[in-house]
Chains A and B, each alone.
Chain A
Amino acid sequence: MRFITPSSPKAINCNPPYLSSATVVLLSAAVKEIKVNYEKGALELARQLFGRQPADDDLARLAGALDGVTVNVSVKKKKGWLYLTVNDARFERYETSVRKDADGSLFAYIHHAYAAAGQSGQGHGVRAFLRQVNAARWLGLKRFELFAAGHPRSTNENGYYVWARYGFNALLREEEQAILPPLLQGATTINQIIRRGGQKWWKRSGDARSMNFDLADDSEMMSVFRDYLAEKAITEE
């Protein structure tokens, strides 16, 4: 597995001039043949958010772009969100925004991540998310956030369970804590439920909510994801 470190080889950086819109073709060992299209104001916002102009391949990876795709970088209305859209036939939609927390720290919000018809079960989502994690850590983001939808009876949404299995976390409501069976009593987070072997309980009794993935090296989420990747022998191409 390769988590990006400062010594990792960097892509050829062919940053575009400061035009209102520009397209860049990346050719690098890390990201191959990804086109990055900047809409008006996106470069300026990227510089503001990151305190420098991020390399195009870093933004492409932060978007979750796999090889051979196009990434569109735009400004989401007036919110100051850098909005990254991956145009990839493997995904029906893959869209992430980069924002600042109230304390000024950067985080990314995954709005949409859906495999295209016939593409699920091939690991594209995990590989895309791995790229996002590596790039986010490289760029200094603190966490990912998403809305993990679904509920035990849903036939088409199971994010509340699946993202939690990969390490995403959220606080339990007091009402949920109160009804936990004896083996899970005292747990205050979803991570704690699953660490105690309560994944079946969460699958049967959990529900949708916003979840976070802490990118700190020693977080439970990073440890789980790292160990999963190691056992599955998934590396960033």
Chain B
Amino acid sequence: MLPIDEERTILTPEEFRAEQTVGWFNPESSYDDYLAMIHAQWELRRDAEEKARREDYELGAPQIELTPEDEAILDRVWAKRAAEKPVVEAAEKTDDEDWRLTPARAA
């Protein structure tokens, strides 16, 4: 089932292929893969909203400012991180890290 989202514009097959051609998506992927991604993202939002409803709290949508100056600083900060930490993500992810990323354990 595709997500129904009145705000988000889902790329058409032609738009997807155009973006794929210029490097925005895996060249091996298909339009169905793209739709699967959109659906997975929609599920994440739906799950969070349902959890908030079930547990009776406001999910919220906190915002924090990001000025162009902040963006430039963060570009440099992240570039420094990349230089310090070469790409070895497959090896670096451990079970121990999962708790930092997965809110499902929240009481």
A and B bound? Answer: yes
- A175, B37: Cβ atoms closer than 8 Å: yes
Chain B count of residues within 8 A CB distance of the other chain = 61
A154 surroundings in chain B (CB, below 8 A):
7-8
- A173, B40: Cβ atoms closer than 8 Å: yes
Q: A152-B8, A195-B85, A207-B45 are in contact. Are A145 and B106 (CB under 8 A)?
A: yes
In this complex, the member of A76, A107, A210, A228 whose beta carbon has the largest number of chain B beta carbons within 10 angstroms is A210
Q: A99-B107, A153-B7, A181-B26 are in contact. Are A115 and B65 (CB under 8 A)?
A: yes
Q: A195-B81, A207-B45 are in contact. Are A166 and B61 (CB under 8 A)?
A: no
In the complex, which residue of chain A has the Cβ closest to the Cβ of B101? A171
Per the 8 Å Cβ criterion, residues 176-227 of A in contact with B are 176, 178-182, 185-189, 192, 194-197, 199, 201, 204-210, 212, 214, 216, 219-220, 223-224, 227
Between-chain CB contacts (< 8 Å), 21 pairs? A110-B60, A110-B62, A113-B63, A114-B63, A152-B8, A162-B64, A169-B101, A170-B101, A171-B102, A173-B41, A173-B44, A175-B33, A179-B37, A182-B23, A195-B81, A196-B82, A196-B87, A205-B24, A210-B103, A216-B100, A227-B81
Taking Cβ atoms with an 8 Å cutoff, the residues of B that contact A are 5, 7-9, 23-27, 29, 33-34, 36-37, 39-45, 48, 52, 55-67, 70-71, 73-82, 85, 87, 89-90, 93, 99-103, 105-107
Sorted from nearest, which 10 A-B pairs have the closest CB atoms? A149-B61, A113-B62, A207-B41, A175-B40, A111-B60, A173-B40, A125-B64, A214-B100, A227-B77, A210-B103
